[in-house]
Chains A and B, each alone.
Chain A
Amino acid sequence: MSTTTTIRRTALNETMRKYGGKMVDFHGWELPIQFAGILKEHEAVRKSAGIFDVSHMGQVFVTGADAFTLLQKTNANDLRKATPGKGVYSHVTNPAAGLVDDIIAFCLSADRYLVIVNATTSTKDYEWFKSQAGKMRVTVENKSDDYSMIAIQGPSVPKMFETFAPEALKLPRFGIVEKDIMGEHCYVSRTGYTGEDGFEITAPHSIIVQLWEDMMELGKPYGIVPCGLGARDTLRLESGYLLYGQDVDDFHTTYETGYGWVVSLDKGDFIGRGILATQKAEGVKRRLTGLTLTGGVPRPGCKIFMDGKQVGELASATYSPTLKKGIGVGYIIPPDLKPGAPLEVEIHGKRVKAEVSRMPFYKGTAFNKGIGA
């Protein structure tokens, strides 16, 4: 028996091709890996502006009197931080404290939440939220197929939005505003996966092509360029952001990823809390550790050595266009190596000198305090 999987295309597929996108199969979605080149796109986002089709990302709406209760139960972070108009980055945990997904939960109003989930996990997340809802007064809807999403990222992007969405300029980091664009109900949030200031817009498919073109026009004075998955990966890794399925999964916990700030043990009970409390008290056995290399380009799967002994392997790794050297993250035992600790990474059978790095590798404008009003 053979199975045929049809590749999924976003509403921007034709537009991506028109702009010269080199299309690849990304977990079943046809998306551009690059346009002009990863280095050019990466630099445009760090210095001015870039735009990404991120329509593969999912949207799960959680509404009703117990919406907060359901999200509080299924998340490691404290949803009380997400007051109306704000979102929190969080980890959805399973009973073993592994990650069902890493998400952003936006509070639209007291009983309405928009949860942005990863492409490969949208159905899994939806099923998980439903299974945990029990008799709660809550409606969980997976609207991932109904929405497109674009990310406009870079230090010049707020200037682009001065005329287009002045209300969005007041948003703090992780703020969200509902806005009618071309007569359609859309969501504009001050979020992204690049480490730079900028916005993400969730919009119906019907207006997304025109919205993309409008953004290209607004961004023209700032040299905006369309960006692909390649630059998305180098930008997010420099910023220390996790890639679900590669850096973290159902079998690794938040403390092991080094994202301890996401865990709110004092908010009350939530799924996986007991295990996380133990890990907090006793420490973890392995930790996702960042490292920089002196030469060569590390790739996922490369073995990591310390004092000649293998201590882990790279989960994500690439050439950092900003730092101009190889960077990577991998789970390392022991878990508490200090920045500067010497390591080696095996590339094409040869050991290359590396050292433990502080995280993130690079802090873009998204890390600035006091973004927005």
Chain B
Amino acid sequence: MPKPEEVKYTKTHEWVHLGAEAAVGISDHAQHEMGDVVFVELPKVGQKLEKEKPCAVVESVKSAFDIYAPVSGEVTAVNDAVTGDPALLNQAPLEGGWMFKMKPSNPAEGETLMTWTAYQDFVKQAAH
């Protein structure tokens, strides 16, 4: 499973572990802001996703949050463990808490995403 610096981040706080099959989840910062996650709705295997379009829903006790596709592509796998135990998103957002895997259709899209360092700065700036 990836380390924080091995994945790329979106401005909407998803992470993606780029590769032929890219895993997607939410950042530790995102899970912290959401609070206790109690329900997760994932896309379906085979579903075509478009970059920056909503593709999943995370519900905490407080509120519902749309999850946006970090890149375009087709869903190849979903993590049933997080639908069964949504708290995984809080406990291990980058490890057991990956949400789905996808086959990116346009590798160039990954270039526009933030590195770990850039994302940390982005979060810090947003806090001010």
Binds B, one of A30-38, A102-110, A180-188, A354-362: A30-38
- Interface membership of chain A positions 297-314, coded 1 if the CB is closer than 8 angstroms to chain B and 0 otherwise: 101000000000000000
Output the least CB separation between B97 and chain A (Å).
16
The chain A residue sitting closest to B39, CB to CB, is A297
Contact between A37 and B35, CB atoms less than 8 A apart: yes
Contact between B64 and A297, CB atoms less than 8 A apart: yes
Taking CB atoms, residues of chain A closer than 8 Å to B41 are 296, 348
Of the candidates A33, A230, A296, A321, which one forms a contact with B59 in the assembled complex, judged by CB atoms under 8 Å apart?
A296
Q: Interface residues of A: mostly helix, strand, loop or mixed?
A: mixed
User: Given that A34-B35, A38-B35, A297-B38 are known contacts, is A230 also in contact with B62, CB under 8 Å in the complex?
Assistant: yes
Taking CB atoms, residues of chain A closer than 8 Å to B39 are 295-297, 319
Q: Report Cα–Cα, A227/B61, bound state, in Å.
A: 14
A298-353 interface with B by 8 A CB criterion: 299, 318-319, 321, 348
Interface size class of B (residues with CB under 8 A): 10 to 19
B114 at the interface (CB under 8 A from A): no
The chain B residue sitting closest to A324, CB to CB, is B38
Taking CB atoms, residues of chain B closer than 8 Å to A39 are 36, 38, 61
Contact between A230 and B64, CB atoms less than 8 A apart: no
The chain B residue sitting closest to A234, CB to CB, is B61
Q: Report Cα–Cα, A234/B39, bound state, in Å.
A: 16
Task: List A residues at the B interface (Cβ < 8 Å).
Answer: 33-34, 37-40, 230, 234, 295-297, 299, 318-319, 321, 348
11 examples of A-B residue contacts, CB within 8 angstroms: A37-B36, A38-B61, A39-B38, A230-B61, A297-B39, A297-B59, A297-B61, A299-B63, A319-B38, A319-B61, A348-B41
